[in-house]
Amino acid sequence: MRILVIGATGGSGRAVTDVLLERGHAVSALSRSATTLEPRPGLERVDGDATDAALLDRLLPGHDAIVVTLGISEPPLRVRLRGAKGTADDIRSRGTAAIVTAARRAGIQRLVVQSSYGVGASRDMLTFGDRLLFALMIRPQIIDSEIQEGVLRGSELDWTIVQPVYLSDSDSTEHFTSVDGSTRERKVSRRAVAHAHADLVESGSSVRETVAVSG
């Protein structure tokens, strides 16, 4: 398959790109600094903004699916106190809206989009400590993720929302997925989540569902 990964230089985007290439797929990696990725066979690196409609219209045709891992990679506390330096607070929702519109024009149905556990229906499954942490540390990002999910739910595309619990940088690939919000461990590695993304792209399963991913 030929797959476009948007947000490819963040921690999750890099992991998804790696796993898809390891599985033999052709990957187009889009981010503002995609050319910082190591050149590899099967990888096309595209520097650009996920909200740039003209760029998306040029890039999307010919792809079989899109994986979206947009987000703010700066430390959450600094972002909460001072705001993000290089990324808009609403990058998830604005980027996803632009991608949905461009996907329609390009005739691409399949989108797998990373959000966050605790958004939407899984909000009720958070512990009190999680709710407090979200409110104090990442409230703007959670609000933007809520809007992002609304954009997908309002579309006719074959979307799947991926909601990982707290992310780690371990090499573990062990993960548990559910569509009812149930989880096992409180943490999961980005590489394990990347395998969940790849599984969903390859199988075409869980269309218009939200998939929780935990360790």
Tokens in use for 55? Answer: 């760029």
pLDDT at position 123, please? 87
Angle value at C-alpha 26, between 5 and 20, nearest 5 degrees: 60
| DSSP code string of 67-78 | EE-----S-HHH
Query: CA-to-CA distance for 37 and 9, rounded, in angstroms?
Result: 7
Q: Tell me the CATH number at 7.
A: 3.40.50.720
pLDDT at position 86, please? 62
Domain that holds residue 184: 2-214
Q: Can you tell me which residue has the tokens 């609403």?
A: 90
* pLDDT bracket for residue 19 (50, 70, 90): very high
pLDDT at position 36, please? 95
Q: Can you tell me which residue has the tokens 């199988």?
A: 203
By C-alpha distance, which of 55, 53, 3, 47 is closest to 25?
3
pLDDT tens for each residue of 136-177: 666 778 889 999 999 999 999 999 999 999 999 999 999 999
Q: Kindly state the greatest CA–CA separation across the chain.
A: 46
pLDDT tens for each residue of 65-75: 999 999 865 44
The sheet that has 26-31: what strands, in order across it?
43-47, 26-31, 2-6, 65-68, 110-114, 158-164, 209-214, 176-178
Flag whether pLDDT at 64 surpasses 70: yes
Tokens in use for 119? Answer: 């958004």
Structural domains of the chain, count:
1
Tell me what the mean pLDDT of segment 87-98 comes to: 88
Letter for the amino acid at 164?
P
